[in-house]
Structure 1
Amino acid sequence: MKRILLAALLAAGLVVPARPADAAVTYPDLAAAFDNAGTSPAATPAAADLDGFGHSLVAEDSTAAGWDRGRAITVDGAQLRLPAAAPGTPDNVVADGQRIAGRFAGAALSFLVTSTGAGTEGTGTLEYADGHTQDYRLSVPDWITGPGSRLTVAFPRWNTPDGPGAAPAKLYTVSIPLDPGVPVTALTLPKAGSGARLHVFSIGTRPTAGPWTATWATATDDGLAAGPWTERTLRMVEHTSRGGSQVRIRLDNAYDPGPLTVGHATIAVRSVGAVPVRTPVTLTFGGRKGIALPAGGQAVSDPLPFSVPAGADLLVSLYLQGTVTNAPMHSVALQEMYTTADGTGDHAGDGVAFPSAGTFGFWTILSGIDVTGPGSTGAVVAFGDSITDGYLSTPNTNSRWPDFLARRLPGRAVVNEGISGNRILQDAFSGYPDGRTAGVNALARLNHDLISQPGVRTAIVLEGINDINSGTSAEDVIAGLKEIAAELHAARIRVLAGTLTPIKGCTCSSDAHLAARNQVNAFIRDNGGVFDGWVDFDAAVRDPADPEAMRAVYDSGDHLHPGDAGYAAMAAAVPLGRL
């Protein structure tokens, strides 16, 4: 009777088949531990069984997304080598305490993972060359029902026993901060809880920044339905904070369901409009002129000797080869950009003759510009919502508060990772191209947008007002801020929290919202060591006669966002000695 009941539960998918423990075995590398075939051809679904019930990834969908077998893909700054295994052969290991030997050195260890049966989590151990150990925890959502905000890539189908079916089959990347001075020589995989299986496909490292520091960066807030664009060149404007003698750019295809190809990329110092001071210089990728970005993948250009002035405008031009139907974007650039017409091809190297056929107001594909040079003391990353994004500041003038802060810090890098509408706890973008432009929640984007920034030393976090205005309690906002601080400290990043600016008179506010804002601000000012300091943005812009409201001279007019003068006052309130 018990055997009949167990068989029925297995058939219904209510029990995951048990696996024998394998904790005593040490494998020379991850591939040697592979024990599960998770990918099958569309025509032969029985060739693989990822979840124990006959479901698997579709090999053709992986290839279509640019996730070719054996390819090295960069995610969150870490290089992950995809399994070289043919479809129908083992390409992942179900984590169960296996010990993996190897040498891993860098700023972080990244795992390409997914979970079947349900989301799961577990604790493993890192062993360092000097003998000390470090416990780490992997928390991995389910491959089908998990949130889009956490995904690295989502394939459109899964293979069922009856063939491909529509379902978003997801892979995720989880990064663990490392001791940067000592290599890891072995790791023990977690033992997942009962009822679910944690699958590991690849392990890689994010290198330390070395001499590189971000001088400009932006965050992806949406997957843009792009036109489509066909054979055109985009010329985008970026304002530097720190100068340098070498430059490289970072490209990002985050949240894009398909690959795209940048056929040619150039950089120049801007004169006016789309016109460079001198002929743009070609950037290469592994010595090649172009680069194919897989869905969810990144690329970093080769170092280029190039004099980057501080506080200047650069022009980065990207020739988009073929047709691009989706691309990641930052929607509130507050900067005019330039594009050629469809079908005109490669004009990335053009100078005065750049054939601009129109303008647009967002950044796309380009996520960062890094420089090297003497005297770097680390980058400051401004991490927040629309108030950090500079919403309602004057376009084309670089009047966001991080821009004003950069002018107070000559020789220091300040980069802006604000997203208008962003929240700490709730997604305002699903992780799929859906027209919403407020980004995934701050906790979900923390590693991608902040921790992985080259040379980051200090973060100024200004988040929470959109949570409050959408009904989230002050207690939950405070808990989210504590979690952000803990993750940043684990990555050896200093954290300054910004008090939330006044909202009285805004159509989004209520008496309950005002009270919640005051409760969060009271915690920030007396946080008991959760943060390394705080910035009193509230005091900088509030009306002394009515502290719940913004001072009129600083108000943009909507009683929520400052104007240019208000953003300047916020920057002036930052204690430079804390950075």
Structure 2
Amino acid sequence: MTIRTLAAACGAALLCQFAVSPIVFAADAPAHWVAAWATALQPIPQRADLPPLYRAPEVAGRTVRQIIYPTLSGKSARIHLSNEYGKTPLVIDDLRIARSAGGAAAVGNGARVTFGGKSGVNLPAGAELDSDPIAVDIAEGAPYAISAFMGPEQKIVAWHRVSNQVNYVSAPGNHSADASAEAFRGRFTQYVWVTGLSVDAPSSAAIAAIGDSITDGMRSSLNQNKRWPDALARRLAGSGDRATAIVNLGISGNRLLSDSPCYGDALAGRFQRDVLERPGIKTAILLIGINDINFAAMPARTGLDCDFPHTSVTAADLIAGYQRVIAAARHRGVKVFGATLTPASLPASRESTRLAVNQWIRTSHAFDGVVDFDAALRDPAQPDRLQRAFDSGDHIHPSDAGYGAMAVAVPMEAVVNSTRK
């Protein structure tokens, strides 16, 4: 699927006159698109009293330059835009992609990105779409700058909040073709609107890593691509595999069963959009559940309460959620590897739930395979805790070394083979 039903988002033929029709370019799509980079969006709480952490930068009439690292090479690419949580149209007047030269600098003016042959796009609230094919060389592992000159009234209402990547906002004006970083003085560490880049790659496939902050790479080094899916992509490349992409669809704070005001839709609900509707994904690695176990114990907060609802869950509840995800994946022919929940220094009652869930993941044979992240990271002397070398310091999120150990724990041959069947 290249676009969420745009006609439904428009609601009337008159409105659709001012939107890009998916029919114009979807029919011309090459035969084998594969997701080479992706991220998952979450809505920004719409409140007057938002703390600074949840305030988006001003982008109206400015150019937003985002840095991405595709994990698959190709000679033709498409950029995927999402206005999933928008209440008004997403207006981009000019969009370009260029090789990054470091920081906000680009190599040359970049390639212009079009939509139905037009250089601008007016995407209705709730809609998503792919660009026309772009004749551009995409090299696996190299950084690319995607620069969008935003409409005069554009606001950010959704983002991927923890990018672990510095992105840029320019001074007013269209700087999408600037090779220089001079105009890009504003910085932010989220991804916005651009939720995927796919390449035309025959005989290739993608693996989706989906979960919470531990897949998202929380507390990994900024701008260093030290998340475990990054390390897995490097491991694949080092093995000589140039036909398998890894895309990261983790959201920090995400839960399997409950939506959150800050941390996105429940994974059981977003799995269809974030994994199954992306091109070329054949396998998913699922790591989710620790926030479901923890958030019931978090104190309720006045004002913005990101942990709401404080739902209590049992191991049986989580298992039922996993089974729904597995069923949805199998309906689309996608394999799912279940990952064990990593140590989080939990009190006894919550630890017992984690252990019960892990026992089921390891022994139920419900998944197409198992990735034992718990065994890879736990302290042998205190198995409810992370090894000291793998602990970022908060006793929940791994260090860079811990994320590296997670990548090593993935049964690579089994996972890659699952994409070929």
TM bucket (normalised to shorter chain) is: 0.7 to 0.9
Counterpart CA distance in 2 for 1:519 and 1:468 is 12
Task: Confirm or deny: 8 A CA contact 1:258 1:326 kept in the other structure.
Answer: no
SS in 1 for 2:59: strand
Counterpart CA distance in 2 for 1:406 and 1:397 is 14
Matched-pair identity in %:
40
Partner amino acid, structure 2, of 1:450 = V
Task: Confirm or deny: 8 A CA contact 2:156 2:192 kept in the other structure.
Answer: no
SS in 1 for 2:126: coil
Q: Does 1:562 align with 2:385?
A: no
Counterpart CA distance in 2 for 1:481 and 1:397 is 32
Which among 223, 228, 244 is matched to residue 44 of structure 2? 223
Equivalent in the alignment of 1:364: 192
Q: Does 1:503 align with 2:344?
A: yes
Counterpart CA distance in 1 for 2:182 and 2:369 is 47
Counterpart CA distance in 1 for 2:14 and 2:253 is 43
Q: TM-score, normalised by structure 2?
A: 0.84
User: How far did residue 240 of structure 1 move?
Assistant: 1.3
Q: Deviations over 1:451-507 (max 9, x none)?
A: 111100000000111111123111101110111111111111000000000011xxx
Task: Confirm or deny: 8 A CA contact 1:327 1:365 kept in the other structure.
Answer: no
Q: Deviations over 1:172-213 (max 9, x none)?
A: xxxxxxxxxxxxxxxxxxxxxxxxxxxxxxxxxx99983111
Q: Does 1:472 align with 2:320?
A: no
Counterpart CA distance in 2 for 1:372 and 1:499 is 34
Counterpart CA distance in 2 for 1:229 and 1:235 is 11
Partner amino acid, structure 2, of 1:541 = L
Which among 217, 222, 231 is matched to residue 395 of structure 1? 222
Q: Does 1:577 align with 2:413?
A: yes
Q: Does 1:307 align with 2:143?
A: no
Task: Confirm or deny: 8 A CA contact 2:103 2:181 kept in the other structure.
Answer: no
Equivalent in the alignment of 2:325: 484
Structure with bigger RCO (C-alpha 8 Å, 6+ apart): 2
Counterpart CA distance in 1 for 2:30 and 2:111 is 24
Q: Deviations over 1:279-335 (max 9, x none)?
A: 211111110001001101112111111111111111000110111134320000011
Equivalent in the alignment of 1:382: 209
Counterpart CA distance in 2 for 1:499 and 1:443 is 17
Task: Confirm or deny: 8 A CA contact 2:6 2:128 kept in the other structure.
Answer: no
Task: Confirm or deny: 8 A CA contact 2:59 2:169 kept in the other structure.
Answer: no
Q: 1:374 to 1:563 in 2, by over 3 A?
A: same
Counterpart CA distance in 1 for 2:33 and 2:336 is 21
Task: Confirm or deny: 8 A CA contact 1:283 1:289 kept in the other structure.
Answer: yes
Structure number with the higher strand fraction is 1
SS in 1 for 2:175: coil
Partner amino acid, structure 1, of 2:201 = G
Equivalent in the alignment of 2:418: none
User: How far did residue 353 of structure 1 move?
Assistant: 5.5
Equivalent in the alignment of 2:283: 458
Counterpart CA distance in 2 for 1:572 and 1:522 is 21
User: How far did residue 375 of structure 1 move?
Assistant: 4.0
Q: 1:382 to 1:289 in 2, by over 3 A?
A: same
Counterpart CA distance in 2 for 1:540 and 1:274 is 37
Q: 1:354 to 1:453 in 2, by over 3 A?
A: farther
* Root mean square deviation of aligned Cα: 2.0
Equivalent in the alignment of 2:157: 327
Aligned residues: 372
Structure number with the higher helix fraction is 2
Task: Confirm or deny: 8 A CA contact 2:6 2:127 kept in the other structure.
Answer: no
SS in 2 for 1:540: helix
For residues 335-346 of structure 1, the aligned pairs below 5 Å read: 335-341=165-171, 344-346=172-174
Equivalent in the alignment of 1:544: 380
Task: Confirm or deny: 8 A CA contact 1:209 1:455 kept in the other structure.
Answer: no
Which stretches of structure 1, 4 residues or longer, exceed 4 Å deviation after superposition? Answer: 78-87, 206-209, 224-228
Counterpart CA distance in 2 for 1:299 and 1:550 is 41
Higher-Rg structure is: 1
Task: Confirm or deny: 8 A CA contact 1:256 1:328 kept in the other structure.
Answer: yes
Task: Confirm or deny: 8 A CA contact 1:228 1:323 kept in the other structure.
Answer: no
Counterpart CA distance in 2 for 1:325 and 1:415 is 27
Task: List alignment gaps of at least 5 residues for structure 1.
Answer: 1-72, 88-205, 430-435
Q: Does 1:352 align with 2:180?
A: yes
